[in-house]
């Protein structure tokens, strides 16, 4: 996951003071070093992770002569559709045409270039044309404002602070909490929503630090801020088929596509295999995609084994899937999970549905 951050301010002292902790804000995200793009009244930075298949030759952040600067974290699933529609804008961004490839991807076209090309075409309405898992920040030098965007599900985090002297943001709370005047006050509203299992997606545990809500665009600058919700789950569109088999076929197609697009990686992907219907289906479909040559590598699996809780021990189901695949997965035992959680240092936004906050981070460290 990429770590992105930035500051917009007309106060040079504010810029210098607040940029330093943001640059070193997260040692957990990104593996390719930190890159910074400066403008007279702004600075945007990125610590990129180029394991994504289409990002290995990318330059972060990406800046245009017209004064727009973009940092992008995530994945676009409707790449081909966008590239066909944005040929002229992509040439403006990349300086060359990108030819569609047979497998539905394109050569030499990073996702962040597509996102920026979409913005050049549709302005802030571009967010309604992007499908995938993403969060990005786009600075416009002419208006001295930044647009902060998250996808409809909010899978990639993005936090921000707006003060009289400027705006700052980061994709990890660690950078913002290093600024002690921001992390000193706890949000009573967040605590209340946490305790009743009704989390406010726009709040964080800190009163002065807010979160870009999922499916929203936050535009912030010297003249204020505006939050626009561009996606909601309510929809009047209905699908009608003549028979149940057509619904089944459509669902299976969507499931295959959702798995395929998530396997665009330069390295092996790991799937948590619990032995249940959901994870077993994902692993088996991923295997079929690999056998059909639609993904580059087979999926590795990791399964939690709860020796201390026989009622939660689903090894027999895990073994059935492993037996069918003829591939032994990684088995992680409960005492190992607890020891990782204690050892790994991290900053998190608590989730009331997770009894072991930070476990996912510990898993990632182990799987390395």
Q: Which domain holds residue 286?
A: 244-367
Pairing of strands 34-39, 42-47: antiparallel
Q: Sheet holding 270-272: strands in order across?
A: 270-272, 300-305, 330-333
Are 259 and 146 within one domain? no
DSSP letter, residue 299: P
Residue 130 near residue 81 (C-beta atoms within 8 A): no
215 shares its domain with 352: no
Q: Are residues 195 and 98 in the same domain?
A: yes
Residues 324, 220 share a domain:
no
Are 253 and 128 found together in one domain? no
Same domain, 200 and 346: no
Per the structure, the count of domains in the chain is 2
Measured between alpha carbons, how far is 359 from 338 in angstroms, rounded to an integer? 8
Are 277 and 222 part of one and the same domain?
A: no
Alpha carbons 50 and 32: distance in angstroms, whole number? 7
pLDDT at 337: 63
Q: Is residue 215 part of a domain?
A: yes
Q: Do both 58 and 201 map to the same domain?
A: yes
pLDDT, tens digit, for every residue of 6-21?
999 999 888 888 888 8
Could you give the 3-state DSSP secondary structure of residue 152?
coil
Helix (H) or strand (E) holding 128: none
DSSP states of 101-121: PTTS-BTT--HHHHHHHHHHH
In the predicted model, residues of the chain with pLDDT beneath 50 are 56-57, 96-105, 341-347, 351-363, 366-367
Q: Taking the mean position of all CA atoms in its chain, how far away is CA 209? A: 19
- The answer to whether the CB of 285 falls within 8 A of the CB of 258 is no
Residues 213, 251, single domain; the answer is no
Q: Which of these, 170, 169, 70, 46, lies nearest to 119 by C-alpha position?
A: 70
> Looking at the structure, do residues 28 and 137 belong to the same domain, yes or no?
yes
């Amino acid at each position: 996951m990429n770590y992105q951050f930035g500051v917009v301010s007309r106060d040079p002292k504010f810029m210098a003071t607040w940029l330093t902790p943001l640059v070193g804000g997260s040692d957990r995200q990104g593996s390719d070093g930190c890159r910074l793009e400066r403008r007279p009244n702004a600075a945007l930075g990125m610590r990129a992770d180029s394991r994504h298949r289409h990002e290995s030759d990318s330059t972060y952040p990406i800046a245009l002569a017209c004064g727009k600067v973009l940092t992008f974290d995530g994945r676009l699933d409707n790449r081909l559709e966008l590239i066909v529609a944005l040929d002229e804008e992509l040439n403006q961004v990349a300086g060359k045409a990108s030819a569609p490839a047979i497998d539905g991807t394109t050569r030499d076209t990073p996702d962040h270039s597509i996102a920026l090309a979409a913005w050049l075409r549709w302005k802030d309405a571009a967010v309604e044309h992007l499908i995938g898992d993403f969060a990005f920040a786009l600075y416009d030098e002419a208006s001295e404002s930044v647009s902060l965007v998250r996808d409809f599900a909010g899978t990639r985090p993005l936090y921000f602070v707006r003060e009289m002297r400027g705006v700052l943001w980061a994709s990890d709370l660690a950078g913002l909490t290093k600024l002690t005047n921001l992390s000193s006050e706890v949000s009573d509203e967040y605590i209340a929503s946490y305790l009743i299992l009704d989390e406010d997606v726009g709040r964080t545990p800190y009163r002065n630090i807010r979160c870009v809500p999922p499916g929203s665009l936050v535009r912030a600058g010297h003249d204020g801020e505006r939050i626009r919700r561009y996606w909601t789950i309510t929809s009047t569109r209905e699908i009608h088929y003549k028979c149940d088999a057509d619904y089944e076929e459509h669902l299976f197609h969507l499931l295959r596509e959702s798995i395929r697009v998530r396997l665009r990686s330069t390295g092996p992907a790991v799937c948590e295999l619990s032995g249940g219907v959901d994870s077993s289906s994902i692993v088996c479909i991923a295997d079929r995609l690999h056998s059909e040559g639609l993904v580059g590598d087979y999926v590795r699996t990791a399964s939690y084994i709860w020796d201390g809780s026989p009622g939660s021990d689903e090894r027999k189901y895990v073994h059935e899937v492993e037996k069918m695949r003829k591939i032994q997965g990684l088995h992680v035992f409960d005492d190992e999970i607890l020891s990782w959680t204690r050892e790994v240092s991290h900053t998190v936004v608590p989730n009331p549905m997770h009894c072991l906050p930070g476990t996912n981070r510990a898993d990632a460290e182990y799987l390395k």
